[in-house]
Amino acid sequence: MDKVKDGGRQIAAGGCAGLVEVSLMHPLDLLKTRLQIGGGHFTGLADCFQKTLRKEGALGFYKGILPPILAETPKRATKFFTFEQYKKASEQLSTFLPLWSRLSLAGLCSGLTEAFVICPFEVIKVRLQSEHNVTLQEQKSTASVAREIIRTKGLGLNGLYLGLGPTLYRHGVWNMIYFGLYHNMRNFLSATTVPIQNQYGDIAMRLLLGFTAGTLASIANIPFDVAKSRVQGPQPSTGRIYHSTWQTVFLVRKQEGFKTLYRGLVPKVMRLGPGGGIMLVVYETVYDFLQRHT
């Protein structure tokens, strides 16, 4: 019973962390997606921001927010719950794997699990965010886009699970580095420094560690993020040219240069750096609260 109750706490805390993070950081995700899709519409982050604001208004930055809001509760709940479960399961490997590698392995497995949960929401979100020539009032609803995808493409790898491959890479790599770095750095600091007694100092330290882990994870996984956006986003008028993860990575590098694989890095880091800190602090705060009161 205690295991079930603790799992419920992890799920609830993860859902709260996701809701807070996406509500604060979604505008940067929109800019990142539009820069990655490319097409010559925007010259950079500032140009994308100005054109979006001028054409669509301030609310335009929240295009496509409903799918991630609907997804973030199960997504973050899945992220943190599965990480804790994989971390516990990895203790059986303690005789041959050191703690630092078990934490990274648990992060990788949680990311792969999370990718299966989030992929349909990502397909709908990218479809909505790529519509930069329509106002918020003119845009189709989330439900109508979902119905259209299911009707025309189905539920499989050409429909709601389009781009599953790069989504698995994106989330697997990100979670592996994020959880691995955060928990290993925190364990190292706990073992080598004087514990922080001040509550605000402890929160600041966790925010900094989460920011660092989120930033480095974002730098490592962005080529897969670009590949995901290309596979799930609008294809050139000549027909579909982006099919799989590595085929897309190599094609983008060949046709547009290596730097294009890091397009959208600034808004991604601006979102997932602070977002990485916010998520962990909210998760740990809510989890500790639930432990004390439930």
pLDDT < 50 regions, the chain: none
CA-CA distance, 94 to 171, in Å (whole number)? 25
Tokens of 136: 């918020």
CA-CA distance, 88 to 228, in Å (whole number)? 31
- Pair 146, 124: CB distance under 8 Å: yes
Query: CATH for 2-293?
Result: 1.50.40.10
- Output the pLDDT for position 212: 95
What's the angle, vertex CA 171, arms to CA 167 and CA 172, rounded to 5? 110
Tell me the pLDDT tens digit for each residue of 57-67. 888 888 878 87
CA-CA distance, 37 to 234, in Å (whole number)? 8
Q: Give the Cβ contact number of residue 53 at 10 Å.
A: 12
Name the pTM for this structure: 0.83
Computed over its alpha carbons, how large is the radius of gyration of the chain? 20
C-alpha distances (whole Å) from 37 to each of 31, 33, 212, 227, 276 are 10, 6, 26, 9, 24
Residue with the two structure tokens 């959208």: 264
Tell me the pLDDT tens digit for each residue of 156-192. 999 999 999 999 999 999 999 999 999 999 998 888 7
Tokens of 21: 């993070």
C-alpha distances (whole Å) from 127 to each of 111, 132, 184, 211 are 23, 10, 37, 29
